[in-house]
Amino acid sequence: MTDLKGALIGCGFFAVNQMHGWRDAEGARIVAICDRDPERLKAVGDAFGIQRRYTSAEDLFADGGFDFVDIATTVGSHRGLVEMAARHGVATICQKPIAPTMEDAKAMVSACAKSGVAFMVHENFRWQSPIRAVKAAIDSGAIGEVFWGRVSFRSGYDVFSGQPYLATGKRFIIEDLGIHALDVARYIFGDATAVTARTRRVNPAIAGEDVATMLLDHDGGITSLVDCSYATKLPIEPFPETLMEVDGSKGTLRLTQGYHLAVHSKGATKLTNVEPPALSWASPPWHNIQESVALIQQHWIEALRAGREPDTSGRDNLETFALVEASYLSAAEGRTVSLAEVL
Ligand code: NAD
Ligand code: 89Y
């Protein structure tokens, strides 16, 4: 079977991981790249040997010659670029967060649906192998019926040096990182119906909130706590590990720092090391995230070939983005917000 051909827009900080992932992927390759910054375009083009280079997305789509586009720009450009791809009938992947507002996010999903093109949000944390291991342990029935859970990401890592824009936005941790933890909560515990959130800014040098705590009511009656912080200085820095606690009717599960998974059931505890492999191009401590980039890309290739909706399709991601919107609204108004209010 011939490889799917892809184009990547946005050759910045994170796109390098995506380019590595595509280089290793089976069944797809990147044939063209685009960035409005000529220096970034050259750096990525030279590093990955891509000859077709564009500083304008319009020109890229006008020339065509690819089956899908991978949009790795920051949030402000997502809607315009996804709608452009839909107009050209090109299947689309877009980085998280899908959009700055729910109105934009819905318009993007609708544009792709109207054009009949596949649309996936690059929501990769649920593809991390430790998170997959948690899901597999729950699905095995070992801890029985789940009634409570926690998804926790607490760190003091300096994310601002690599991603300076994170320090300047009115919104920070929920939109940037909490969005992943909220998606993991949906993936593990099911869709949520309501959120109660509290936020706080500890670091005076940034504009947005760097601490958030969210209480979720899930459809099936599970209660979960999703908490994230970039103001937490621990003796051993855990970035970028997502930790989990799950209580079930027959046992418990704990994913603790250092990628240790403990499943306690029937009076015995099974300990497993679920550290993801460091791929050849990995740069620890990012290897956890980097592996999930490769896995979500492989999922996209399989879904596109099979004509199946990807797990983190735009449609699915509206539910995750609704949790972001509901969390900000809840924190601003000091009340519980029903997801129906923001969807
Ligand atoms: P960045 O600012 O380093 O890179 C973005 C690039 O896009 C820049 O080079 C910019 O010139 C280019 N660009 C912007 N608008 C464009 C347009 N209209 N046409 C062509 N080029 C354009 O940003 P980043 O840190 O690489 O983040 C990109 C996205 O990736 C963000 O949405 C961020 O949230 C996301 N991200 C995801 C993960 C993850 O694990 N999924 C991790 C980090 C960042
Ligand atoms: O942008 C963020 C993401 O998606 O994963 C980690 C990150 O790079 C910094 O919070």
What is the arithmetic mean of pLDDT over 176-189? 98
What is the arithmetic mean of pLDDT over 167-182? 98
Output the pLDDT for position 338.
98
Average confidence score pLDDT of the chain: 98
Phi, psi of 64 (to 5 degrees): 60, -150
- d(C-alpha 238, C-alpha 222), whole Å: 27
- d(C-alpha 215, C-alpha 186), whole Å: 13
Ligand 1 mutation pick, 40, 69, 70, 73, max ligand atoms within 8 A of CB: 73
Output the pLDDT for position 207.
98
Ligand 2 mutation pick, 94, 158, 161, 166, max ligand atoms within 8 A of CB: 166
Distance, CA 198 to ligand 1 centroid (Å)? 28
Residue nearest to atom 7 of ligand 2 (CA): 177
Ligand 1 atom index nearest CA of 73: 7
Distance, CA 289 to ligand 2 centroid (Å)? 9
Q: Express the helix, strand and coil content of the chain in percent, nearest 5 each.
A: 40, 25, 35
**Measuring from each residue's beta carbon to the nearest atom of ligand 2, which residues come in under 6 Å?**
159, 163, 176-177, 180, 240, 289
Is residue 44 a contact partner of residue 11, using CB atoms and an 8 Å limit? yes
- d(C-alpha 169, C-alpha 209), whole Å: 9
pLDDT digits (tens, 9 = 90+) for 217-263: 999 999 999 999 999 999 999 999 999 999 999 999 999 999 999 99
My answer on whether omega of the bond before 97 falls inside 30° of 0, hence cis, is: yes
Per the document, the length of the chain is: 343
CB-based contacts of 180, cutoff 8 Å, min separation 6: 96, 123, 124, 125, 126, 153, 242
Residue nearest to atom 1 of ligand 2 (CA): 176
Structurally, at CATH architecture level, domain 4-117 sits in 3-Layer(aba) Sandwich (3.40)
Output the pLDDT for position 311.
98
Helix segments in the chain, DSSP class H: 15-24, 38-48, 57-63, 78-87, 102-115, 129-139, 173, 179-189, 287-306, 314-333
Output the pLDDT for position 30.
98
Distance, CA 87 to ligand 2 centroid (Å)? 30
Ligand 1 mutation pick, 35, 159, 288, 295, max ligand atoms within 8 A of CB: 35
Map out the domains of the chain as residue ranges: 4-117, 126-294+320-341
Distance, CA 57 to ligand 2 centroid (Å)? 24
Q: Is the CB of 18 under 6 A from ligand 1?
A: no
> Which ligand sits nearest to residue 43's alpha carbon?
1
> Which ligand sits nearest to residue 292's alpha carbon?
1
Is residue 199 a contact partner of residue 332, using CB atoms and an 8 Å limit? no
Residue 128 clears pLDDT 90, i.e. is over it: yes
Neighbouring C-beta atoms of residue 63, cutoff 10 Å: 12
Q: Which CATH code for domain 126-294+320-341? A: 3.30.360.10
Distance, CA 160 to ligand 2 centroid (Å)? 10
Distance, CA 176 to ligand 2 centroid (Å)? 6
Output the pLDDT for position 1.
83
What is the arithmetic mean of pLDDT over 6-15? 98
Q: Is the CB of 73 under 6 A from ligand 1?
A: yes
